[in-house]
Amino acid sequence: MFPLTSLPLRPLHLPLLRSLSSSTLIPLIHSTPNLNLYSTPVTPLQMNQYLLQCRQTKTSFLIDCGDSSPDRWIETAEEGGGRIEGIMQTHGHVDHVCGLKLTKEVLGVDIYACPDDWLIFKSAPAQGLLFGLSCPPPPPINIDLNDNSTFKIGNLTIKCLLTPGHSPGHLCFWCEEEKVLVNGDLVFKGSIGRTDFPVGCSTEDMEKSLKRFCTLPSDTHVFPGHMGPTTVGEEKRSNPFLQGL
Ligand SMILES: [Zn+2]
């Protein structure tokens, strides 16, 4: 079978993919009356890639692109009649961007990210050497996001929280009305993101970002870049790294 990259771009490749692809759809892991969130871990580093979809309009965005198989994400978005209209990046570490070039080529949509992380994006191929991940140079950021930037995904309003520490331009994506936070590598269930990488980390910034995380409503569902989902309240109660902030 020829690779996906040799197929003609939309819309011609979609019927072909349906007949040729043996990929499975991405699991739906969370939904509200207005939002669907699909996710599966990708790359050997088990990075949680997400597809966030407005249930009314079916407008969909990818969050972080570690997967080098964009077809299954496209098929998932299209299952209910939607399409992927953008890619938002929490940050530029290699496991979050090693599928970005291919996904951008196939979808042709804008990449939304914080420009403070661009040096991290650019160093992703070198990061890959350390972790055994092959990563082509990521394409440029098209839409600059900063602290408190907001944008729409269909009827959903996404607010960006700049939460540096793990990386300088690390973002969390907060859909306040639906009580959903996709928080990258800020907080994990019982843990937090590393701050010991040679470039771009700051323990002082991380502490401020964790304090900010703790100000969010306790019933906010949290979907991290690694490991399973949690809530703000659960992490405030039990995460040892959030005690005493
Ligand atoms: Zn990271």
Residue 212 has pLDDT above 80, yes or no: yes
Residue 103 has pLDDT above 50, yes or no: yes
User: 19-27: long-range contacts (C-beta < 8 A, 24 or more apart)?
Assistant: 21/71, 21/72, 21/75, 23/69, 23/71, 23/72, 23/75, 24/72, 25/72, 25/75, 25/76, 25/79, 26/51, 26/72, 26/73, 26/76
Residue 58 has pLDDT above 70, yes or no: yes
How many domains does the chain contain in total?
Answer: 1
Residue 10 has pLDDT above 70, yes or no: no
Residue-wise pLDDT for 19-51, tens only, equals 444 468 999 999 999 999 999 999 999 999 999
With cut-offs at 50, 70 and 90, classify the pLDDT of residue 14: very low
Strand order in the sheet with 143-144: 28-31, 35-42, 47-54, 59-63, 83-88, 110-113, 143-144
Q: How far is the CA of 1 from the centre of ligand 1 (A)?
A: 34
Q: How far is the CA of 7 from the centre of ligand 1 (A)?
A: 32
Q: How far is the CA of 183 from the centre of ligand 1 (A)?
A: 11
Residue 13 has pLDDT above 60, yes or no: no
With cut-offs at 50, 70 and 90, classify the pLDDT of residue 15: very low
Q: How far is the CA of 166 from the centre of ligand 1 (A)?
A: 7
Residue 186 has pLDDT above 90, yes or no: yes
Q: How far is the CA of 177 from the centre of ligand 1 (A)?
A: 27
With cut-offs at 50, 70 and 90, classify the pLDDT of residue 6: very low
Q: How far is the CA of 135 from the centre of ligand 1 (A)?
A: 15
Q: Which domain holds residue 140?
A: 4-242
Residue-wise pLDDT for 138-161, tens only, equals 999 999 999 999 999 999 999 999
With cut-offs at 50, 70 and 90, classify the pLDDT of residue 198: confident
Mean pLDDT on 165-192: 98
CATH number, domain of 237, equals 3.60.15.10
Q: How far is the CA of 105 from the centre of ligand 1 (A)?
A: 23
Q: How far is the CA of 17 from the centre of ligand 1 (A)?
A: 31
- From 159, 207, 155, 209, select the one nearest 180 (Cα to Cα): 159
pTM > 0.85: yes
Q: How far is the CA of 213 from the centre of ligand 1 (A)?
A: 17
Mean pLDDT on 113-132: 96
Whole-number pLDDT of residue 23: 64
Q: Which residues surround ligand 1, an ion (CB under 5 A)?
A: 93, 185
Q: How far is the CA of 225 from the centre of ligand 1 (A)?
A: 8
Q: How far is the CA of 196 from the centre of ligand 1 (A)?
A: 11
Mean pLDDT on 185-192: 98
Q: How far is the CA of 243 from the centre of ligand 1 (A)?
A: 22
Q: How far is the CA of 14 from the centre of ligand 1 (A)?
A: 32
Higher pLDDT, 80 or 177: 177
Q: How far is the CA of 71 from the centre of ligand 1 (A)?
A: 24
Whole-number pLDDT of residue 101: 98
Mean pLDDT on 53-81: 96
